[in-house]
Structure 1
Amino acid sequence: MELSSLSIILDLSHNFLEGPLPLGVGNLVNLEELWLSGNKLSGEIPDTIGNCRVMEILLMDENTLQGSIPATLKDIKGLTQLNLSANNLNGSIPGTLASLTNLRELYLAHNNLSGTIPELLGNSTSLFRLDLSFNNLQGEVPKQAVFTNLTGLTIVGNNALCGGIPELHLPKCPSSSEGKSKKGMLRTIRIVIPTAGVLLLSLFVVWAGFLYRKSKTAPKKEIPPQFTETELPIVPYNDILKGTDGFSEANVLGKGRYGTVYRGTIENQAIAVAVKVFNLQVSGSYKSFQAECEALRRVRHCCLVKIVTCCSSIDHQGQDFRALVFEFMANGSLDRWIHSNFDSQNGQRALSLSQRLDIAVDIVDALDYLHNGCQPPVIHCDLKPSNILLNQDMRARGGHFGIARVLDEAISKQPMNSNSSIGIRGSIGYIAPEYGDGLAVSTYGDVFSLGITLIELFTGKSPTNVMFKDGISLHHYAEVAFPDKVMEIADANIWLREGPNTINDMRYITRIKECLSSVIQLGILCSKQLPIERLSMSNAAAEMHAIRDKHASTQQLSDVRSYQ
């Protein structure tokens, strides 16, 4: 930490660094960004950190740092982002942080912070992201600035908070007159009942009342408050443990970056559920859980996977436990149905053209709702076949909101550099090209992912297939084939669902080619390189409905002619 000439960025995140942060960190006086997230750093944050006066981004989340938040942070005047989440910090939140006039994002979640939220933070005009969730904060929530922005504020897991704007649905704070009244009653008791025996009795009553109030105001970790607004049932850890047979491997439905999904049941309910258990040892899993909670509490649509409840508790080893419980999707992910070897499958049949069209319509309806039916809009950020699930009737349901983002129009229009804290959102092959250039998350990023997904659904080719290299992509593959060779690139499994005579019916072939050409063209238009060249989601949804409806009507007409 003696590199005083070091500037721009020092990224040591997600390693195995241990021990306390050295005092020499204060010598990095020319450094603009310091990334120490996801290590095993311990001890207190040294006061010398305040010497880094030109620093703009300081990330020390997901360590085991202790002690209080140093007041010297106020000296870093250029600080725009501070992340101290998922540590063991205690004490109160310094009100002096409000003096950082450039501070835009402040993350202090999952610590042991106590006391009240500084009123001065409500006076900050620069702050638009504030996460204080899962601490031991109490008292009144301010009603100004970021505390009025429901998309930028997270305070769940602090059950002793009160007041704030009505949309937070917090209990009303006791008035000062009520406090004076209580003091007057105690003063009267001391005067009227002077005997020692009665005084001891009164003290006992006061003591018992204190314990009762403490038990009522102690933070509860069973379920975040945003879920109680929707009156979802509370599921404790033991029910999750029992319902998945102790997280048995036999019940595993799938594994992802941030956790494992199990098939399970809910006690006293004769329904199967999918339980997504987050691996909190993995960096970013807390944020993934919070992102899903934030997105899922806002969305309700028939083409999105329905959440049953969640569990935010402690396991039998005393460790934090997070899980989300969804309705069970009997037919698994769309990815499995596109890329299975159907010759060796027992009972599973390839998707027909009509089924694929219905699935495509469900997908665009889900995204159209997220973009245009939610206020503010929600960006999925990770649309792909493995995140699309199929129910018993083979209808698609959008799932996995682990990196979803509630769009803040004020900041979404601002360009982001490649070192943005938001980073590249999505999966390889489905990520919009502009995200790789550091541009802001937008609805057009989801449109790109939709285009790739549509092409994959009807060609059976994954964008990560080994055939796509040397500048050739799935988009380019479809673009070159359109319109004359769409039948050549169409998924051959489609024909497995058709009768032996239809393949030689020229009217049938013409109808199928017209349908496939329209869908492939839609996929190409949605996955253009530049966002401005892509369709809007509403236009894509309208076009997909028209394609499906036209195919259905011509198919009915063909069936009538065949019958005649």
Structure 2
Amino acid sequence: MLSGEIPRTIGRLHRLRHLSLVNNSIVGEIPHEICNCSNLVSMTLGKNQLQGEIPPALGSLSQLQLFYLTTNNLVGGVPPSFGNLSSLARLSLYENKLEGPIPEGLSRLPHLQLIQVARNNLSGAIPPLFFNMSSLQYLGFGSNKLQGSLSSDVGVNLPILEELHLGNNHLSGRIPSSFANSTKMQLLSLARNNFHGRVAPEIGKLCPVRVELGSNRLQVHDAEGWEFLRFFTNCTRLQLIDLNENDLGGVLPGYVANFSRQIQWLSMAGNRITGTIPSGIGNLVNLNDLELGGNNLHGPIPEGIGRLKNLQILLLQQNDLSGHIPSSFGNLTLLQNFSLSNNRIDGPILKSLANLQQLPSLDLSSNLLTEVIPDEIFGLPFLTDFLSLSNNYLSGVLPRQVGKLKNIASLDLSKNNLSGEIPGTLGDCASLVHLALDDNSFTGSIPPSLGNLRGLSRLNLKKNELSGSIPRELAKINGLQQLYLAQNNLSGVIQPLFQNSSALIELDLSFNHLDGEVPSSSVFANMSRFSLIGNNGLCGSIPELKLPPCQVKPHKQRHKLLLGILLPVAGSAICFCLLVSALFMFKRKITVGRMKIAGLGVLGEKYPRVSYFEIFEATDGFAPAKLQDGSSRNFLAECTALRRVKHRNLINIITCCSSIDPNGNDFRAIVFDFMPNFFLDRWLHPRADEQWHKLSIVQLLNIAVDAADALDYLHNNSRPSVIHCDLKPSNILLGSDWTAKVADFGLSKLVGEYTGISGFNSGSSVGIRGTIGYVAPEYGLGGQVSVAGDAYSFGITLLEMFTGRAPTDDMFRDGLSLHLFAEMACPDRIPEIIDPALLQVQHPYDDDDARLDNALACLASVIRIGILCSKETPSERMNMENVATELNKIRGAAMESSSL
């Protein structure tokens, strides 16, 4: 292998015809003296470490036919003098750092067959004459910053063009139908641009080997729009078709099952496609990549997919698919990427999935899966990335076999019905970085063996029924950054556990039975990074916590004396309390027996009954922070609505109380899960005395997605459907993990079912139903309650979240509204309406324009949805099913981008 610089003496080799120094370690600049080699026919200097600019004098090598400078570090522009290389047939400047425009002179070279300048930073428009070069076989301008549209006659004079690479640029406009004249085309790559509109049917007549149209804004609205795809089914050599991340809608045509058996890659994910997966899809026996995720497909998964034994990628996530996991999936033994998450798949997890021996990850989360987790799943040998079974209805114990996942990085079994003890074998999963077992019914103590997981950075065990003390072994986890143990029955002191946990950055130990001194260092030095509420035995010196000071331990002898005095007194007090409690319970039974417990009748017997006094004590005397205001007339409406719905983003009802207070007045209350992060409204518009941090774009996106998913469920998946009628930021509650829960169903309306409660939902309209500013305009005119009204309220709420302005802001008068305020700014003046603090909280010290552009593009998409939802005419509003789908896509793109 050669190294060093190209010697300048090379210019003395006047008779040199071929210079090849490919794949060496040559450094430095291209010497100008090489231009003296006037007889050069070929020069290949690719795959080196050449720097500097390309010498313009190289344009004088009139006999040069082949010129390769691929994969170097060359900078500057493509010399316009290259337009003088009249003999040039093949030019490759692939993968450098070149910038500036493409010289128009290159498009006039009469013998040019190949031009490859992909993976640079070229900008401007593509000279149109390139699409009129009859000699051209390969045109590669992909992965640059090129702009502009393509002429409508592109391809008319490209009779022998075989490969067209224009992907990953900023090209726009429509894809010219004239491409169909390039009948020799084998590869058409236009992915990751801004092409829009319908794909002309003529494009389907090209019959290339590869078609890459993903990540554009191409549209389909009906069967006619899919005509191009029907033509592609006649292509016997087609192996790949990529239509990912567009705006394709309508019903998935059944003829996708009629593609040639040569097809290996079929990708249509991230669109708006409806319908079912054709049963004949199993005929495409050579498929190794099938991607249909992120659409609106419904119905069962065809059993025939199990015949695709060459399948390596199967992505069906984020649809509305239902039914069981097909038993034939156990035949897909070559799968390396498989996801069914975010569907409505029910039934058990099949043991036969253990046949998928090459899977590095398995995602079945957010479905309706039931029964136990098969032991065999934990024996998958290459399961190293993650296993996610969260947000299902899985039950039973967690098998000891979970310890076989020795190389897995993430294990998420949260939000299920798992019970029993947490197996100590989890301590054998030495590569775990993220472990989530929250929202289950695990009992017993936390296994000390978890202290063996030295690389663990996030441990979530909250909302279980764990007891005992926190193992001191957890302090050995030096990389632990997040620890959630809230809402268990843990006890013990916390000082020894965290005195060495310097890496801990977020801690939630709320609602346990902890005691002892709260440390003042490490994570406890910042009030925004930890929560200890609901632990009455704590003490310490942090002023903001308002804890009692820790007492110095008394002398042992004095301690014995105090015990001798206090124990008899305590014994007498306990006896007295038991007597009073017995009398009280007897009286309470009589009182309850005489009361008409209307709310409990609505909710059913499965909810525990509680009294006025129990609620009084549990809320610290009805402390405002623990209450949500309501009215008695809405009490039965809310009980009825909540009895019928259950969703992860709807407030969970614990029970209700219909009783009397000490003054003999009627008392009615609904008891919900406590939401420690209060209402969304408190974070959008904090009071003057509240120094709360600003929520980030990603946090707001998560909240928006949660609220949209809740309304989508109420409108489209609840039976009967429910119209909320009063969505607003003060009715969106935030849990400790920032999960949003939609609450306050006091004005809700059930659709299509008689409730049996007099006065509830009687009549098609009830005047203004909702809150001024958020209520749909048609309600003020006596219009009928509808799901479009909820969409309006959601749209206004969404705009408020990202502009920081409430719809009742003083600025909105004389015809100006929050909707109009946003509409006038979209899409070009988005920075003018976005809450300035929102951009500051993203990257306060980051001047990277690309990151800011990504953030603004994300915000523009969100504002667009808010505008579409809050249209004045109900029929023009976006429905919540599409809203939820679009927001999930926006959040997914934001999470994939490191800029947010």
CA distance in 2, matches of 1:298, 1:442: 19
Q: CA deviation at 1:286?
A: 3.4
Deviations 1:60-85 (A, max 9, x none): xxxxxxxxxxxxxxxxxxxxxxxxxx
How many residue pairs match? The answer is: 304
Partner residue in 2 for 1:234: 609
Change beyond 3 A, Cα 1:490–1:217: closer
Q: 1:492 aligns with which of 819, 830, 836?
A: 836
Q: CA deviation at 1:277?
A: 7.0
Amino acid at match of 2:880: M
Partner residue in 2 for 1:476: 820
Amino acid at match of 1:393: D
Partner residue in 2 for 1:15: none
Kept in 1: contact 2:720–2:751 (CA 8 A): yes
Asked whether 1:462 is paired with 2:838, we answer no
Partner residue in 1 for 2:341: none
Kept in 2: contact 1:365–1:541 (CA 8 A): yes
Q: 2:884 aligns with which of 535, 541, 544?
A: 541
Deviations 1:170-192 (A, max 9, x none): xxxxxxxxxxxxxxxxxxxxxxx
Amino acid at match of 2:831: M
Partner residue in 2 for 1:288: 634
Amino acid at match of 2:657: C
Change beyond 3 A, Cα 1:471–1:315: same
Partner residue in 1 for 2:894: 551
Q: 2:645 aligns with which of 264, 275, 299?
A: 299
CA distance in 2, matches of 1:317, 1:446: 39
Partner residue in 2 for 1:365: 709
CA distance in 2, matches of 1:277, 1:437: 27
Amino acid at match of 1:482: C
Asked whether 1:526 is paired with 2:869, we answer yes
CA distance in 2, matches of 1:391, 1:439: 35
Counterparts in 2 of 1:389-538, with a 5 A limit? 389-408=733-752, 422-502=766-846, 504-538=847-881
Rg bigger for which structure?
Answer: 2
Change beyond 3 A, Cα 1:299–1:309: same
Amino acid at match of 2:894: H
Partner residue in 2 for 1:224: 600
Q: Alignment identity in percent?
A: 49
Partner residue in 2 for 1:81: none
Counterparts in 2 of 1:83-482, with a 5 A limit? 220-221=596-597, 223-229=599-605, 231-247=606-622, 251-253=623-625, 263=626, 274=627, 285-340=631-686, 345-346=690-691, 348-408=692-752, 422-482=766-826
Q: CA deviation at 1:526?
A: 0.5
Aligned residue for 2:741, secondary structure, equals strand
Kept in 1: contact 2:697–2:842 (CA 8 A): no
TM-score after normalising by structure 2: 0.32
Q: CA deviation at 1:544?
A: 0.8
Kept in 1: contact 2:767–2:783 (CA 8 A): no
Amino acid at match of 2:624: V
Q: CA deviation at 1:434?
A: 0.9
Q: Which consecutive segments of 4 or more residues in structure 1 shift more than 4 A?
A: 214-220
Question: Larger % of helix: which?
Answer: 1
CA distance in 2, matches of 1:216, 1:357: 46
Partner residue in 2 for 1:48: none
Q: CA deviation at 1:302?
A: 0.9
Partner residue in 2 for 1:36: none
Amino acid at match of 1:333: F
Q: CA deviation at 1:525?
A: 0.5
Kept in 1: contact 2:599–2:639 (CA 8 A): no
Deviations 1:426-446 (A, max 9, x none): 111111111111111000000
CA distance in 2, matches of 1:445, 1:452: 11
Change beyond 3 A, Cα 1:420–1:372: closer
Amino acid at match of 1:526: C
CA distance in 1, matches of 2:706, 2:593: 44
Q: CA deviation at 1:341?
A: 6.7
Q: Where does the alignment leave 5 or more consecutive residues of structure 1 unmatched?
A: 1-213, 254-262, 264-273, 279-284, 412-418, 560-564
CA distance in 2, matches of 1:440, 1:522: 24
Change beyond 3 A, Cα 1:482–1:406: same
Change beyond 3 A, Cα 1:299–1:410: closer
TM-score after normalising by structure 1: 0.51
Q: CA deviation at 1:458?
A: 0.5
CA distance in 2, matches of 1:353, 1:400: 26
Q: CA deviation at 1:410?
A: 10
Kept in 2: contact 1:351–1:493 (CA 8 A): no
Deviations 1:215-244 (A, max 9, x none): 999664385223234x11110222123333
Amino acid at match of 2:601: P
Aligned residue for 1:431, secondary structure, equals coil
Aligned residue for 1:402, secondary structure, equals coil
Change beyond 3 A, Cα 1:554–1:407: same
Change beyond 3 A, Cα 1:444–1:425: same
CA distance in 1, matches of 2:891, 2:897: 10
Q: Which has the higher contact order (CA 8 A, sep 6+)?
A: 1
Kept in 1: contact 2:603–2:640 (CA 8 A): no
Kept in 1: contact 2:765–2:785 (CA 8 A): no
Q: CA RMSD in A?
A: 2.6
Q: CA deviation at 1:394?
A: 1.7
Kept in 2: contact 1:407–1:442 (CA 8 A): no
Q: Where does the alignment leave 5 or more consecutive residues of structure 2 unmatched?
A: 1-589, 756-762
Q: CA deviation at 1:245?
A: 4.1
CA distance in 2, matches of 1:242, 1:227: 23
Amino acid at match of 1:465: D
Change beyond 3 A, Cα 1:479–1:467: same
Aligned residue for 2:862, secondary structure, equals helix
Deviations 1:132-168 (A, max 9, x none): xxxxxxxxxxxxxxxxxxxxxxxxxxxxxxxxxxxxx
Question: Larger % of strand: which?
Answer: 2
Deviations 1:251-290 (A, max 9, x none): 113xxxxxxxxx2xxxxxxxxxx5x576xxxxxx333111
Amino acid at match of 2:876: E
Aligned residue for 2:790, secondary structure, equals helix
Partner residue in 2 for 1:203: none
Kept in 1: contact 2:764–2:785 (CA 8 A): no
Amino acid at match of 2:658: S
Query: After the TM superposition, which of the residue ranges 437-446 and 220-229 deviates more from structure 2?
Result: 220-229
